[in-house]
Every structure is written in C-alpha cells, then in structure tokens.
Chains A and B, each alone.
Chain A
Amino acid sequence: MYVAVKGGERAINNAHAWLAEERRGDTDVAELSIAQIREQLSLAVNRVMAEGSLYDPDLAALAIKQSRGDLIEAIFLIRAYRTTLPRFGASEPVDTAAMACDRRVSATFKDAPGGQVLGPTFDYTHRLLDFALAAEGEETVAPKGEPREEPTPHITEFLNQEGLIQTEVESDEVPGDLTREPLELPSTRPLRLQALTRGDEGFVLSMAYSTQRGYARNHAFVGELRIGKVPVEMEIPELGFSIEIGEVELTECETVNQFQGSKTEPPQFTRGYGLVFGQTERKAISMALVDRALRWKELGEDNLGAPAQDEEFVLYHSDNIQATGFLEHIKLPHYVDFQSELELIRKLRREADARNAAPVREAAE
C-alpha cells in the first residue's frame, strides 16, 4: 500500500545533525580554531574574501571551518552574510602606488625604482612533499632586512612618460555596483572589473588561459605584479575630511599588451588590469588578461568570436555562487516536469509505431 512520502522536516533536521558531526570529524583529533585557519590556511582565506567580496579574515576563516573546507560553500556563506550588512558609505579610492609591498616583480624590466622584491612566493620552490611538515612543531624564522621607506612607483608609469602605453581615460563618475543594481548590457569597464575580481578563480583562470592559447590572443607581459597592504581612507561627513579606517592586503597586476596603431596614431602598448583582495596572484594575473581581452571594442580590435572577448558570456558565467546554485539545483525534485516528458515521449512513440505499422497493413490488403 502506497502512503505519500511525509517527514521532509525530520529528514532535514537529521541531515543537518549528521552534517555537523561529519564536519567535526574524529573527536580524538583536536578541533581547528579560527585563528589556526586564518594564520595557516591564509591563501584559502584570501580566496574566500576575494570571491565573497568581504575583507574580513576571521569571518572567512569561520566560513571555511563551517563549510568543511569547501571554498565555494565558504564564499557563499560570506556572500549571504555580506548582503545583510548596512552600508555606511564608500571609501576613497585606495592608492596602490603607496602600497607597502611584500612582493613586487616586473617581467618587463630587469630593475626599476623600488626594485624586484620576490616576497613569500611558491615560484621557485621545488614541489617536493615536505615530510618534515607532517611531524609538526616546526618553527621557521625568515631573515629580516631594513624596510624600504621610499615609494614604489608603478612600472607602467615609466612607459607612460614616453607615451609608449595608452593612457586610461580619467573619470570621476561613481562606478556602478553589481551587488546593488541588476547587470545590464553593454556594461562598463568598472562593472566588468567588479565581476572579474569576485568571479570564480578557476573560471577566470581558464578564460585567461584560452587567450594565451590563441582565442583572442593579446600577448601579455606582466608589467608589474605587486602584493602588499594599502591604507583605506573614508571621508566622514561630520569631519569633512578623510581619515584612515584600516588597511587591506591587495594583489595588483598590470599587464603590458600588444600595441595598437593606425594611420593617424602611432603604435602604443595597451593594458590589462587586475586587482584582488589578499595574496591572490594567480587570480590577479588572470583578471588582467581577461580584462584586456574584453577591451577589444574600445581599443578598435576585431571581434574574433572568442569566449574571452564576449562580455555577456564572461559576466554571466563568472560567478561561482550563481553557477553552483543553478548547476546543483537539478538534484531537487523535478518529477512533475519529468512526468510530463514521460507522457509526451510515450505519446510520440505510440504515434511513430502507428505510422510505421501502417504500410504493412496496406501491403496486406
């Protein structure tokens, strides 16, 4: 005897309880603290802050703990929290030329004012599993140098002095906000950059990679990659001037790309730009390449029909919270729709069978 399925609520509660138990794992193993995640899984924390669009290492660490290390799930937690926060105002634009750089490399000049600073990078490590790390208790101390006091100017500015690189059009227009306005196309570069900086790292990486392999190739040199902290200032209406309210760590990448030119204008290098929260250089470089590919119209290039040139394609598919939600929703019940498909396919097959059977009958007559 069939009795309609009941008990959805009990199933949900039990599933949540089981999930919590699985998240904790074996209780004989010490529990992770938020501080441990923040300090020792800092690149995961950075990714969650960047794609969650919220700069708060402790909350990002909490989200990673709660999501059992599923970073997209952690980003989702941060986004859902962020959207409930009141907005007090907007900061002044940060000045990345005044960044206290932990890392600053240029692939276009051997040396430049401010120097090449390798910083804490995996770049020249040999990827050999370090079994000593498994034995815990390790403490390492890096040698220290004197901090540089003088500013570290942007390398592309040196090219600009000779007029070798296109100058960006200055604008005092208030940029749009993807999280407060529906996306409408064609969009603007500020909105594209917003979408890219919070876009899925894997998606932006693959889009960038596709341009390198010839789908709208725009050969990019890393003019400069810098990572470090910048102060955030905000104008307080009651004071009438801006004060420093904190600092954020940023990764900035400026690429120098193939030159443009026409009969009337001499050739110039062009730029791509990436700026991402935290130490997230793979993402920042990828962002700069995709930004550059999306600028084809503005720079008078041909539309080659490449995915990375298609603003609508890139912007509509870069967000992993939207993508994962829609992808995973197909596991929700669809039996009403499926039933209607079942009825239809049975009907079509009945009719096809009847048609196929018809000539045989005619022959028999």
Chain B
Amino acid sequence: MSDYNFAYLDEQTKRMIRRAILKGLAIPGYQVPFASREMPMPYGWGTGGVQVSAATLTPDDTLKVIDQGADDTTNAVSIRKFFERTANVGTTEETSKASVIQTRHRIPEEDLREDQILVYQVPIPEPLRFLEPSEVETRKMHSLEEYGLMHVKLYEDIAQHGAIATSYAYPVKVEGRYVMDPSPIPKFDNPKMEMAAIQLFGAGREQRIYALPPYTQVVSLDFEDYPFEASKAEHACDLCAAEDSYLDEVIMDDAGGRMFVCSDTDYCASRRKAGHVGAQGTNLEEDAA
C-alpha cells in the first residue's frame, strides 16, 4: 500500500490540518474551519476524526480505535485497518499502550496520560445547531458569547420534564468562554474531559476542528438548583462486576431478559483478566473455550 502517502493524506493537507489543530489548541473550544478532504470512507463514518488522526500520527505511534467503547465494532475495525494499511503504524486494543486513540461516542474508562492524544469523531460540532439552524447566526452567537438560548433550552427542559432532558452530547463550557459540543458521548463521560491527554475533535462534513489542551477546565452546563449529574445504568457489569463503568444493555431472550455489560471492552476484559467476575460472568478461560 505504498501508492499513498504516509497516513493517506498528502503532506500539504496534513500541514493545513495541523495548523487548524494548533489554532484549536490555542483557543480551546473554538471551532476552526478547515478544508476537509473527501476521504475514501463516507461522511458520517468518522472522516473528521480520520483526518485529524492522519495529521497527528507519526510512524512510532500506536493507534487504538474504538466505536461505542469497543475495539471490535465494524467501523472501528475498518478505521484501524485503514491506518494499518496506509500508515503501517502499530495498533493495540489496550488503552494504556496507545499513544493516539480515535473514538466515536465514548471516552475510555481508564485515565489517560499526558503522552496520549484522544481524537473524537464529531457529527455536528455546533452545540447551538438544534436551537438555531443557521451557521451565520451561531458563529455570531459564539463571538458575542451569547448563550442565553442554550440556558433557556435547559430551563424549558426542567419546566417540562423536571430535569435536563439531554443524555448525550451534553453541552459544556470551556475555560469559561466557549460553549462546546463534546460529540455524542453519554453525559456520564463529561467529567472525564478534564484530563491529562490532549483532546482533538474532527468534524469532516461540517469542516470544523476544535481542541482541548491538557487539564483544560470543562464544565457541563447546569443550574445551581439542578446540578449536572453524570448518570449510568444502576447496575454493575454482569461480566466483570465493575460499578464505575458505563454499561450497555443487551437483550438476551424474547422474554425481555437482559444483562448489563461494560461498553469499554478493553476495560472489561482487563478486569476479567485480573479475576473480577460479574453476576453472569465466568472467568475468561472458560469463555475462550
């Protein structure tokens, strides 16, 4: 696969993307327009994340790709394979061994380190989009720091439902300035965004890149009397007994039987390796047999 440049994109394009990333890091939470390229996978499949990863990867990097927290979902497999072919970089499923992690919809459970980069795939980068469809208007609102509409929306949620009715892509405020879309991660993951690793967000179709430098202040929007709450299913993982991880609900039979398992497959597997056994779990060796 030497017909293409390292990590597929040509050097000029990567330079252009790196400039956008640097600008994004300099203005945390600000959406930087960039000339997104047409990638060999469809818009909506993570073309923004792929371009950011391509501009970030070096030959010495180790890449991990997750979708819904899992390394083995089809699109995670497909993107990992793409970089194996075009960049020939090492890949891993272990969070701690990865230097670059591309993700869709989750932040790994394990704390990330300063020498790691987390790349998010972003469908709609504009947190105000569903309140105001016009990009011209929303850019104006950001530049004037005019976020009243968002607070009204959250207030109306409380008036109607008694709670803020946003469970994923829950808006955050970065360093007291920009309101930012954290990508469609569950709000359970929001508190993790104040982390040691660099976080980069790529929206290919919408042609935007934004970023969070390490240890940036990220506050989930709320009200004093209705504070933000990071919620998850009130269960422990049925495989590894973890009580602190985000859980997927799996339907087991047509009588409505269900179980809860970690969405972060690496976290679950490493706990099971360490001997943790959930209510319906067995140890790993029996599973493999």
- Interface on A for B, CB 8 Å cutoff? 1-9, 11-12, 76, 79-80, 82-84, 86, 179-186, 312, 316, 321-322, 324-330, 332-337, 339-344, 347-348, 351-352, 355
Contacts and interface: CB of A to CB of B under 8 A. Distances in A.
Contact of B44 (A328, A340, A344): A328
A115 B248 CA distance: 70
A321 B43 contact: yes
9 contacts: A2-B261, A4-B268, A8-B77, A182-B36, A316-B135, A322-B43, A337-B168, A348-B162, A348-B163
B37 interface: yes
Given A12-B74, A337-B105, A343-B233, A83 B38 contact: yes
B6 interface: no
B232 A343 contact: yes
Given A342-B249, A344-B167, A332 B184 contact: no
A333 B36 contact: no
A5 B77 CA distance: 13
A3 B67 CA distance: 18
B7 to A, nearest CB: 13
Contact of A339 (B42, B186, B238): B186
A82 B38 CA distance: 9
Contacts of A329: 42-45, 123
A142 to B, nearest CB: 39
Nearest to B71: A8
Interface of B: 4, 10, 33-40, 42-45, 47, 67-70, 72-78, 81, 105-106, 123, 134-136, 161-163, 165, 167-169, 184-188, 205, 207, 231-233, 238-239, 246-250, 252, 259, 261, 263, 265, 268, 280, 282, 287
Contacts of A184: 33
Given A8-B74, A329-B43, A2 B259 contact: yes
For the complex of A and B, list the 4 residue pairs with the smallest distance between their C-beta atoms, beginning with the closest. Answer: A329-B44, A325-B43, A340-B167, A325-B42
B186 A347 contact: no
A182 B35 CA distance: 4
B43 A326 contact: yes
Contacts of A8: 72-74, 76-77
B167 A343 contact: yes
Contacts of A325: 42-45, 47, 205
Contacts of B42: 76, 321, 324-325, 328-329
A9 B91 CA distance: 15
A357 B168 CA distance: 29
A326 B205 CA distance: 8
Main secondary structure of the interface of A (DSSP, over half): helix
A336 B38 contact: no
A348 B161 contact: yes
Contacts of A182: 33-36, 207
A361 B146 CA distance: 45
Given A8-B77, A326-B43, A336-B68, A347 B239 contact: no
A4 B261 contact: yes
B38 A3 contact: no
Given A2-B239, A2-B250, A322-B43, 10 more contacts: A2-B259, A12-B74, A181-B35, A184-B33, A321-B38, A334-B105, A337-B184, A341-B168, A344-B165, A344-B231
A343 B188 CA distance: 11
Contacts of A84: 4, 10
Residue of B33, B42, B68, B165 with most partner-chain A CB within 10 A: B42
Contacts of B168: 336-337, 340-341
Nearest to B160: A348
Contact of B263 (A2, A179, A336, A351): A336
B74 A3 contact: no
Contacts of B231: 340, 343-344, 347
Contacts of A348: 161-163, 165
Nearest to A73: B42
Nearest to B8: A84
Nearest to B287: A3
B72 A7 contact: yes
A325 B205 CA distance: 9
A333 B44 CA distance: 12
Contacts of A330: 44
B147 to A, nearest CB: 21
A312 B168 CA distance: 27
A1 B238 CA distance: 11
Contacts of A321: 38, 42-43
Which of B35, B76, B252, B263 counts the most chain A CB atoms within 10 A?
A: B35
Nearest to B81: A9
Contacts of B34: 182
Given A12-B74, A185-B136, A321-B43, A351 B123 contact: no
Contacts of A327: 44
A340 B249 CA distance: 10
A3 to B, nearest CB: 6
Contacts of B238: 2
B249 A339 contact: yes
A311 to B, nearest CB: 9
Nearest to B233: A343
A328 B73 CA distance: 17
A326 B43 CA distance: 6
B133 to A, nearest CB: 8
Nearest to A315: B135
Contacts of A342: 249
